Amino acid sequence: MSSVWQALGRGESVRARRRQLELAHERFLGHLGGFGPESAEAETELRERFGRAPELRPVVLESWLRSQRGTIDPNRVLDRPALDADELSELRRTHPLSQALPVVRKLLFDEARDSGLIVAVGDAAGRLLWVDGDSVLRTRAAEMGFVPGMDWSERSVGTSAPGSALALDHAIQVLGAEHFNRAAHDWSCTAAPVHDPMTGAIIGVVDVTGGDNAASPHLLPLLQATLAAIEAELQLASLRLLLNRPRPDGPAGAAGGAAAGGSAAGRSVVGPPRGSPASAGHPDASAVAPPSSERAPEPFVPRLLVLGRDPALLEWADGAAALTGRHAEILLALAAAPQGRAAATLAEQVYGQRSSEQTLRAELVRLRRWCEAERVPLVLSSRPYRLVGPLRVDATDTLDALASGAAAAVLAAYSGPVLPASAAPVVEALRAEVDATLREAMLEHASPDALYDYAQHWATGDAHVWETLLQVLPPQSPKRARVVARLETLGAAPR
């Protein structure tokens, strides 16, 4: 096996491995019968006996021993949530990972629905906050208590990917009977802890659960790439918070003030610093409560996601939904003008020269009805047309972050141009502004590696970017050959 964190080696038979693990699990539980739950003698004998078993990874054995010390019932089925409906709703609203849900949705949720997998996002105490993916599989998983509000920490259910990832502060896979709880033996999973990029504190966990494919070796790097994108998004959120922090001599920014110090990802204190004793053990459920001296978390502001999307996505505290193209264009125009827009101006921004106020009014009626039906907390007022209350836009957040010098973090979270298929004037203007600002920031401030990533993904036909890249790459960089070849393809002779 290539790694102790990986459940299967390349080419290893899943069926044979499952059978070995089932036998090892039964032998382990059988040896517990003659000892008390806190017996040091039991732990010593079990470690000696099973530490030599080739089918049992050391990280799994140690997790089983922690489960034994915690008197975990291997036959228990979770049936009582750790969070009631109101507590779950509030924690979802205030938890820092709510800011990164678009990243999780784009990289994991949507893929899971088509791949027979479930994706779960939990807090630092192991409580599941969001569970999405294959609907049939979610129904089955609910039978073992794998639903939002349940506690899947090691102290609650024993060995599991989300619980063990939090206990060990490391990405890990768990296959079949490696789970301490028999109810989970038909399942496999891959999970990794999420950290606040500003403080290093554990703030939650992301888990992929399903059949044998959920412990496939390729899932670990996929999950780690997702975590990098999540933490980049959290870093952007922290920068936005700094931008909107009240100055001693003036008011806060448009998005509202922030408590002095800390990061956006730390709206609640949700975990110990990375590497601290607590992060290597069982995070305490009390760790999710913010200190009384901290300001109460601000309400979740609805957010319009338009970067690289078609259709756009609107998120609010209790949900998310795709928008029609026209509705996205209208909201984009209104978000840019909190004071409101006259009907003629709004129609021109959405429809261009062929604008029609009558057509616009009909579309606004449909948008209002849709918001009411979906219970979206947005209110559209008229005379002039405006939004009552704030609406964040990911493209505008990106511009703010670029203005603060966060080019690398922006690039890590950037997913493409604003509504690529839209020809609305308001969209084309914002798209051009974001593209130009990102390009300039990358040329002026990015590291050679970041500029290379930008060139490969977002500037494939921009000769000036590739020429600049050739100038800043170290002389011995293996990437220079790729850059030279690209310049030749573009008809620009390398200088």
CA distance 34 to 42: 8
Full set of structural domains in the chain with CATH: 1-240+265-276 (3.30.450.40), 299-445 (1.10.10.10), 447-495 (no CATH)
Q: How far lies 477's CA from each of 388, 455, 494, in Å? A: 53, 16, 15
CA distance 356 to 354: 7
The two three-digit tokens of residue 245, written as one number: 């922090």
Question: Tens place of pLDDT for every residue, the chain, 495 residues?
Answer: 457 898 887 778 888 999 999 999 998 888 765 444 545 666 777 777 777 777 788 899 989 888 888 778 888 888 888 888 888 988 898 888 988 888 888 888 877 777 889 999 999 999 999 999 888 999 999 999 999 999 999 989 999 999 999 999 899 999 999 999 999 999 999 999 998 887 788 899 999 999 998 998 888 888 888 888 888 888 887 776 666 555 445 444 443 333 333 444 443 333 333 333 333 333 333 333 333 333 344 456 888 989 888 888 888 877 778 899 999 999 999 999 988 999 999 999 999 988 788 899 999 999 999 988 888 888 888 889 999 888 989 899 889 888 877 787 788 778 889 999 999 999 999 999 999 999 999 999 888 888 998 998 899 999 999 999 999 999 889 899 999 998 998 887 666
The two three-digit tokens of residue 316, written as one number: 């609010």
Closest CA to 29 of 9, 4, 3, 49: 49
Q: pTM to 2 decimals?
A: 0.56
pLDDT, residue 94, reads 83
| DSSP string for residues in 388-407 | ES--EEHHHHHHHHHHTT-H
E runs forming strands in 196-288 = 202-210
